[in-house]
A and B are shown apart, each in its own frame.
Chain A
Amino acid sequence: MTRKQKRFTVIFGALALLGVAVALVLTALSDQVTFFRTPTELLAAPEENSGRIRLGGLVEMGSVTNAESSGVQFAVEDANDRILVRYSGILPDLFREGQGVVAEGQLQQDGTFLADTVLAKHDETYMPKEVADRLKEQGYWQGDEVSATQ
């Protein structure tokens, strides 16, 4: 192999690898991305949001019930609307009525939301950022500006 051929092999290999990586990334980004929706947005266009969704809002007061044999049910609300969420797992420690929550899963035919993950936070003063932003846009929740403790 001449010097030129060696260099060509290396550059060709690198470009091929890069090409594969770009292809993988683009495919993954087109179908593995989860959109964030509030109840209002989700119910306004259920067909467009039939894939995996992160549903965010406040847990409605008094809505948490042990519905199924091992599951819980609670409603997520924003300024205009609410959605019933079903979840069969253990709720995170900091899950509270009247506080922000993000549930990940899919909207079902019957209009309920089946969650496989309910996001927990490490900090009791923490409000999920996306939830806080959207609810403030709606003027529904002002929030105390998160204190500068950590």
Chain B
Amino acid sequence: MIVELGHYALVLALMLAVLQTVIPFVGVKTGNARQIAMAPNIAFAVFAALAFAFTVLTWAYVSSDFSLLNVVENSHSQKPLLFKITGVWGNHEGSMLLWVLILALFGAMVALFGSNLPPSLRAMVISVQGLIAMAFTGFILFTSNPFARLSPAPLEGNDLNPILQDVGLAIHPPLLYLGYVGFSISFSFAIAALIEGRIDAAWARWVRPWTLAAWIFLTAGIAMGSYWAYYELGWGGWWFWDPVENASFMPWLAGTALLHSALVMEKREALKVWTILLAILAFSLSLLGTFLVRSGVLTSVHAFASDPTRGVVILAILVFFIGGALFLFALRSSSLGNGGMFHPISREGGLLLNNLVLTTATATVFVGTLYPLLVEAVTGEKISVGAPYFDATFVPLMIPLLLAVPFGPLLAWKRGDLFGAAQRLYVFAGIALLAGLATVYFATGAPVLAAVGIAIGFWLLFGAFAEVWQKSGLPKAGMTKAIYRLRGLPRSVWGTAFAHAGLGVITLGIVSVTAFQEEMVLRMAPGDTTELAGYAVTYEGAQSRRGPNYTEDVATFQVSQDSDPVATITPAKRLYTARGMPTTEAGIHTTGFSQIYIALGDPVEGTDQIVVRLWWKPQVTLIWFGPVLMVIGGLFSLSDRRLRIGAPVPSAKRRQTLAAAE
């Protein structure tokens, strides 16, 4: 019965989404204030209906209601409670429901926090959100209904794919979706601006917090997914340039560009048309990502079995929104008017360089990801484009940008002083150069590129704080005065510093692992010892254990350095009984920023040996520590005062004069 209520709520949500699309739009077009005022309430109602449907599905999972096909296919009564809940979005139907739920959440948030927006703009944004919600709720109901019943109900379910039974995967999809779907707000704002034919600095200020929030979630989501793949798949890799990964990386690149161009628009009213285009692009790439992951048109290492007919429907939705948005853009963008011009060497110029490089880089990722599809469609030849392509295109394009990043914040608006900025940065350049030289000196035989990479990493890390350092007035100003000044800095300055430093930290991690990692595959019998990066690793033997819904063989390795014990590492091979599916649980020990990583292979038949793969991963955790800094930077920036104030309000004094003048 309760399941039917959930199903009904989903149908209701579709109907309400139709209203959410039509009523505010008609209201704005006919100037009907009552219809405009209805918009927020309908947005709340859509969210409530979807939240109810989602809760019902979750309840069905928790109570193991095997009369639901979706629960049978993805759950098991013996599964731990946490994974029963996360199993809700560990499958196609449930994850699409989560997708629209988050979409409706964002719509409701605009309705809730948008009271400082002009009512017509808010209504228009809510209407566009309603259209997206309508498309995807319809998609769920007609092609992938999670509430489909099964009769007779089986006694037991098929269990969730074991590699998804993991805390990392519990958080990864919701974070990623919050990011993907968050860009729908900037998209809706862009469409609303195009329909209204009006855009100004205030628009950029309203859009910024939403873009920023989406970007924060996407950053965290991608980093989380990367770490999950690293420890759960047992391949020791953190990024494969795989289509599914690229699908989440492209919106991130476009979103990062959007954050920076919106800054120019907010401060200088320049790059208007470009910012609108980026807002459309960021969400279009999110939709493309959803399509690529859900349709299975591309061969991916992360691929799950998928249903092509659904892909066609998502493709149709994709074409409608992207095509419609670009059509509207072509039609109306000229009416938005030109922004101001600026000197190429200026803050605006720096941000524009950021935008050019990031969008070009996005384009190279786009080409690399979709080229196999094109080739197959044209020639029938099946090819794959892997890491070497991206190393040869994306990386060289990004290097000039990484070198330029520390200059950006030091340049003044309108007209900057490149020489002055360089003067303030030479100390940091010196540190970076020393770090590079030290790399060559200490790591004998280190490739030159590694030294260059380390130098760039330090340049970014320290250069990021150049602006803060300069504003503190240190070392001349003295400590107390400096602290006073630093406390008075706008939060966004700190945001920029942390986010840019995070980029430096990621660079350091990537370069270090790529250049200095050690790897070996060998057979070990109990008692065997091997040498790895100065550590002695001894295999002590394996034993069987039972988990709640799996059995596992756990191997024990003792790690010691100069005969002092350092750690015990216990990698395992698991067999999930419901599906008879084996998984590899890597054993990881972290020392400092580095990790020792051990994965088990199969036992060698007829002996007591086992195949073992060991890695020394120097500074690998920096790759995920960097995004943490970026997220912190984003949060700082989000808490900046000027975003909370919203629309620029004339000062009290000026308001009085205005009132007096009337």
Contact = CB atoms under 8 A, between A and B. Distances in A.
Contacts of B158: 149
Contacts of B599: 90
A3 B296 CA distance: 49
A63 interface: no
Contacts of B344: 1, 6, 9-10, 13
Contacts of A79: none
B402 interface: no
A81 B251 CA distance: 43
Nearest to A96: B582
A140 interface: no
Interface of A: 1, 3, 6-7, 9-10, 13-14, 17-18, 20-21, 24-25, 27-29, 32-36, 54, 66, 69-71, 88-91, 93-94, 119-126, 128-130, 133-134, 146-150
B364 interface: yes
A123 B382 contact: no
Interface stretch (B183-191, B421-429, B470-478, B601-609): B601-609
Contacts of A3: 341
Residue among B342, B397, B611 with most chain A CB within 10 A:
B611
A33 B544 CA distance: 44
B523 A69 contact: yes
A89 B521 CA distance: 6
A123 B384 contact: no
Interface in B578-625: 579-584, 599-602, 604-605, 611, 613
Interface string B80-94: 000000000001100
B656 to A, nearest CB: 39
B367 A90 contact: no
Contact of A126 (B235, B303, B384, B611): B303
19 contacts: A6-B343, A18-B360, A27-B392, A28-B388, A32-B385, A36-B381, A88-B521, A89-B613, A94-B582, A120-B233, A123-B303, A123-B304, A126-B303, A126-B305, A146-B305, A146-B306, A146-B307, A150-B161, A150-B304
A121 B343 CA distance: 52
B389 interface: yes
Given A120-B233, A122-B303, A70 B579 contact: no
A147 B602 contact: no
Contacts of B319: none
A120 B301 CA distance: 7
A54 B299 CA distance: 12
Given A90-B521, A93-B584, A130 B299 contact: yes
Contacts of A148: 305, 307
A3 B299 CA distance: 49
B91 A6 contact: no
Contacts of B296: 129
Contact of B601 (A7, A27, A90): A90
A121 B235 CA distance: 12
B299 A128 contact: yes
A89 B354 CA distance: 41
Interface string B90-111: 0110000000000000000000
Contacts of B324: none
Nearest to B415: A1
A10 B581 contact: no
Contacts of B73: 149
A6 B342 contact: yes
A21 B343 CA distance: 24
A70 B305 contact: no
A25 B364 contact: yes
Contacts of A150: 91-92, 161, 304-306
B239 interface: no
Contacts of A69: 522-523
A118 to B, nearest CB: 10
A149 B392 CA distance: 38
Given A25-B364, A150-B306, A32 B392 contact: yes
Interface string B342-371: 111000010011001100110110011001
Contacts of A90: 234, 521, 584, 599-602, 611, 613
A122 B225 CA distance: 14
B363 A94 contact: no
Given A28-B388, A129-B299, A124 B393 contact: no
B75 to A, nearest CB: 12
B601 A91 contact: yes
Given A13-B356, A70-B611, A149-B91, A36 B303 contact: no
Given A27-B392, A148-B307, 10 more contacts: A21-B363, A24-B364, A33-B389, A34-B385, A71-B521, A90-B584, A122-B301, A126-B303, A146-B307, A150-B305
Given A70-B523, A149-B305, A150-B306, A32 B388 contact: yes
Nearest to A27: B392
Nearest to B91: A150
Query: Nearest 9 CB-CB pairs, A to B?
Result: A90-B601, A36-B382, A28-B392, A32-B388, A32-B389, A150-B304, A24-B393, A146-B305, A9-B344
B163 interface: yes
A147 B74 CA distance: 13
B581 A94 contact: yes
Nearest to A54: B384
